[in-house]
Structures are given as C-alpha cells and as structure tokens.
Amino acid sequence: MNEPAFDLPPEQLGAAAWYGPEMAKRTDWLMALSPAEIDEIETAARTLAARGTDIAAITASDFPLPMLAARLKSRVEAEVLNGRGFLLLRGLPVERWTMREAATAFYGLGVHLGSPRSQNAKGHVLGHVRDLGLDVKDPNVRIYQTHERQTYHTDSCDIVGLLCLKTARSGGLSALVSSTTIFNEMRRRRPDLLRLLFEPIATDRRGEVPTGQKPYFEIPVFNWHRGFLSAIYQRQYIDSAQRFPDAPRLGPRQIEALDMFDALANDPSLHLFMEFKPGDVQLVHNHTLLHDRTAFVDWPEPERRRHLLRLWLAASGARPLPEIFAQRYGSVAVGDRGGIIVHGTTLHAPLEAM
C-alpha cells in the first residue's frame, strides 16, 4: 500500500520571500552607524584590547553599548530573524584599528546578538576568511579558505556575521538569495521535485566529525517545523558525501531537484549582489537565506589582501528547529546550538588566519 503523498507547506508570503532586483533598489537593509555609536564601540574595544583581554571570553557586560545595543538588537530581531533575513552595518573605522582592536570590536558587537559558536574543528569562535592557497578539491578543505567562488550555501548557525577589513583587487562580491523564494518558485513550477528536498540527504562534514557521528549528516534541504520553513544547504558537500560507501546514494530525480535549486539560486531575477566596503558588517539569517561569494583576484602584497572576520552566532530570539538539526548543530536548544565541536576542541579567537 502506497504511503500518502507529503503535503507541501503553503506558499510563503512573508518578508523573507524577496527577489534580488527589487531588493537592490531598497536601502532599508543598510544601517549606518552614527559617530556617537562608533565612539561607543571604539571605546569599549580599545579598553579591552589594551588590557589584552581574551576575546573568546568577552561577554555583553564586558562590552557596554548603552546607546547602540537596544537599537541593534531590535533591528536584528525584526529584520534578520523575522524579516528579510539580512542587515548591513556600515561605518566601523577599521583602517585605524589594530587587528586586536578590530577583532575585539566585532566580537563585542556579536555577543550582544547571540552566543558565538565554533566555526571549525580547531575551535575558532572568530574566523578569518582569507585565501590560504588551499585546493578546494581536497576533501578536508573548506571553500572559504580559497579564492574560488563559494556557491550558494548556509552555515551551521542561526546568524553568520562578516566584518570586512580589506577587499580584493577584483571580485569577491557578496551574494545573497532567499531560500524561501526558491521554495516558492519550486512549489509553483515543480512541486514533485520540491517534495524530494524535504527528505534527508547526506552532506559531507569535510573531515570535521564530532564524536560518535558519521562523516556526513543527513538533514533535508527544506524543513517545515512549527510553522517555520528552514533550509540547510551546501551542494559541493552533498556531492562529496557520495565518496562514503555507506552514504545514501543520490538518485536521478534527487539530482534533478538539486540542479533546479541551484539554477534558481543562480537566477539573476532571484539573487542580490552586494559590494563590501572596509568597516561593513553583514548579518545573515542562515535559515532563510543562502550566501555566496564570487571568485576574486587578490593583491600581490600580503598586507593588502582580502580579509574578512566571521562570527557564527546562536541567537536568543531564534526560531525553533526540528530535532534532526541536532546532527549538525549538536543541539536544537535556542541560544545554545550550532557550530562544530570535535574531540579535543578548545574554543579560542585567533588573531590571524590558521
């Protein structure tokens, strides 16, 4: 006897279902920091940096932001977690800061929005996005460590934050696309393929395997839980998970569904390109957006090369996630989930790419 067909969630009509060309005409996603707010951040950062404070141990109470904290948290909850899914802060004076001051300022902002999570097996709660000259074809290399295009993906946290310190000679544009809009388009055009993306699929952990877990996790691309549509996706890692003999095989129709997902993400009528300036902070909601970076050509001088700092945050005001996310997130407890922890991981905030 055949099982009843899975009922797709309804079309999503909220602010998270946006289209790039329309979004590019708007400026409400840009939050310019005032001189007084910048001074507040700088004072807190320089005070802690001068003491040599352990960045990974900084809490919100250590980093007082009497004017900015409430405004920032309010906008993040309304616009990032419950709205379009992203916000760009502009104006941090990174050109006059040391690396320690910049890292302290960024981390201090982050702890007002959530709990920083480990971004790799080394326990980095502060990440450095630089080209380390590594080969993306190496199954233990993650794409942010190269100069190649990343392709649209999510990170393993509620919010990913990026602080631009230096830009590349050319390329390296940020790109965003709404996974909610991709869902709507697939629902209208090919609901038969969309249904397949609600089934578990193997995704490679790229060698960063928590104790007792498989070298891949099995979470559906789309997840409908308590009225929330959430996505988790990295196509290269889905494909590379097929290297494991015990990983469930991708069938032709699953591949067709993934190819359609990718085609929609790469459709100029859906996505949005954004050029970072030094001092910009981009905050992105992983459950409703996918992000990408175009390939870039860097400067020959090491001190001029493209350099971003990154935070993965577990937000206290985040949505509920289904239990299956615990395979990747460790837990689904709001405010204490996400990140990568393996045996022997010690949390720390390095001041250079490692």
Q: Token digits for 337? A: 């989930």
Domain chopping of the chain, boundaries = 20-329
* CATH domain 20-329 topology: Double-stranded beta-helix (3.60.130)
Confidence at 3, pLDDT banded by 50, 70, 90: very low
pLDDT, residue 301, reads 64
pLDDT, residue 351, reads 87
Q: Token digits for 210? A: 């928590």
Residue 307 φ then ψ, to 5°: -155, 120
Q: Token digits for 306? A: 């493209």
Q: Which of 176, 53, 111 is nearest to 312 (CA)?
A: 111
Pick the range with the lowest mean pLDDT from 43-52, 67-76, 161-170, 305-314: 161-170
Measured CA to CA, the distance from residue 7 to residue 346 in angstroms comes to 43
Residue 121 φ then ψ, to 5°: -65, -20
Measured CA to CA, the distance from residue 95 to residue 25 in angstroms comes to 29
DSSP for residue 266: T
pLDDT at 160 over 70: yes
pLDDT, residue 305, reads 75
Per the CB < 8 A criterion, the answer to whether 311 and 110 are in contact is yes
Q: Calculate the dihedral angle through the C-alpha atoms of 204, 209, 211, 215, rounding to the nearest 10 degrees.
A: 30
Amino acid (one-letter) located at 264? L
Segment 178-237, tens digit of pLDDT: 999 999 999 999 999 999 999 999 999 999 999 999 999 999 999 999 999 999 999 999
The average pLDDT across 285-290 equals 98
Measured CA to CA, the distance from residue 173 to residue 208 in angstroms comes to 27
In whole angstroms, how far apart are CA 250 and each of 39, 191, 243, 255, 324?
53, 19, 11, 6, 19
Residue with tokens 């409908």: 224
In whole angstroms, how far apart are CA 156 and each of 246, 315, 340, 341, 345?
23, 12, 8, 11, 17
Segment 138-147, tens digit of pLDDT: 565 555 555 5
Q: Which residues of 194-226 are buried (b: 16+ CB within 10 A; e: fewer)?
A: bbbbbeebbbbbbebbbeeeebbbbbbbbbbbe
DSSP for residue 234: B
pTM (global) more than 0.75: yes
Amino acid (one-letter) located at 263? A
pLDDT, residue 169, reads 60
pLDDT, residue 1, reads 40
Q: What percent of the chain has pLDDT over 70?
A: 88
Per the CB < 8 A criterion, the answer to whether 41 and 92 are in contact is yes
